[in-house]
Each structure stands twice: as structure tokens, then as C-alpha cells.
Structure 1
Amino acid sequence: PQYRVLDVAPLVQTGYAILSGGKAKNGAPIMSFPDRPGLAEVSDEDYGRVVTYLCAISPLHESEAGFVIVIDRRLDS
């Protein structure tokens, strides 16, 4: 499915997932999931929506290299 920015805006605005523009050595975009203490957990459905959206907005020539996913769990207890 394709999602519009309005479908994922609340997640993107909270900083749940970030596509910063950084690239790996192979040119793959870096998608980050920073630790967000104090905020509610995200459902599997919302997770799928935001990842699908961020993958879709990346230029094809960059996304062909895949994606690097960084999950920050430093503050997880």
C-alpha cells in the first residue's frame, strides 16, 4: 500500500522514525528509530506505515542499495 504524509504525520512529528539524509558507504539511506522514553508504544500497523512511507519517499536510485536501520535502545529498561 502507498501512504500519504497525512497518514504518518503524527509518527513523523514525534520523531518515531527519521530519514535524516545520511547515507551508508554503499549509498543506502539511513533510517533511524531514536529512543523515545515516555511516549506510548507504536502498534505494528503504525510501524509498517511509517517504514513503508519513508522507503517510498526515498529516491529510487538510493533505495535500490537497500536501507540501513539504526534502532537506539540506550534508554530502554
Structure 2
Amino acid sequence: MTIAISTRPFEHRDVATVLALMRGLAVFEGYIDKFAVTERDLIDHGLCDSPRFGVFVAEARRSRRRHRRPVCHSLDL
């Protein structure tokens, strides 16, 4: 089985997944009590006409399946 990784800029369909990954990082790094980012923040500030940041989504796809799933994100401020 082969796994292909592709990257792309995030889209509206990725907001919930990106936020979940960001929350997971906040838990791991120990600042979840200060984490205040919402889905609306990601949309308003990352998917607007003049974004304040960018996110790249990496997707893994197994050769036997067509289903793609996000596996990580990269936030570029």
C-alpha cells in the first residue's frame, strides 16, 4: 500500500478540522486554557479578501482508497 501526500491552501471545508488540530496542539503545548480561536476567527481572518494568515493542509491518500483526509496543518502568519 502506498500513501500519497499532497498539500494545498485551506478552504471553508477545512475550518473545523484545522481548528481541531490547533486545539490539539494547544493541549500538547500546555496553553489550552488561553486558547481562544474560533471557527469564525479562521473564516474572518484567514479566508477573507485580505487574509491575515494562511494555512496549508496536508492530505494523505492511500492508493487503494480515494478518500482523502487532512493529516496536519501549517499556519503561516
The answer to whether the superposition gives a TM-score over 0.5 is no
Higher strand share: 2
**TM score, norm. by length of structure 1:** 0.29
Which one has a bigger Cα radius of gyration? Answer: 2
Relative to the length of structure 2, the TM-score reads 0.29
